[in-house]
Amino acid sequence: MKISRFLKAVVAGLAAGAASLATAMNDGTVTGSEGVTAVLAVLGASGLTWAVPNRQPKGQV
């Protein structure tokens, strides 16, 4: 299965953002600092995941 770097980064960003917002919604509201943390989690996870190249399957060049 071939997954593009872009799709991989989007999925990682969504997962990080959802996890951050789930924690932030513990008390029923999202404060400004929690929102900033969620945005930084999305950007950080997306950027780091996009930067790592996909590994070539064994047997292919």
Write out the chain's pLDDT in tens, 61 residues.
567 888 999 999 999 999 999 999 999 999 999 999 999 999 999 999 989 888 777 776 5
What's the whole-model pTM score? 0.80
Q: Rounded to an integer, what distance in angstroms lies between the CA atom of residue 61 and that of residue 57?
A: 8
30 in Cβ contact with 24 (< 8 Å): yes
For 9, the token pair is 């980064």
Task: Report pLDDT for 1.
Answer: 57
Task: Report pLDDT for 11.
Answer: 94
Task: Report pLDDT for 61.
Answer: 59
Task: Report pLDDT for 56.
Answer: 77
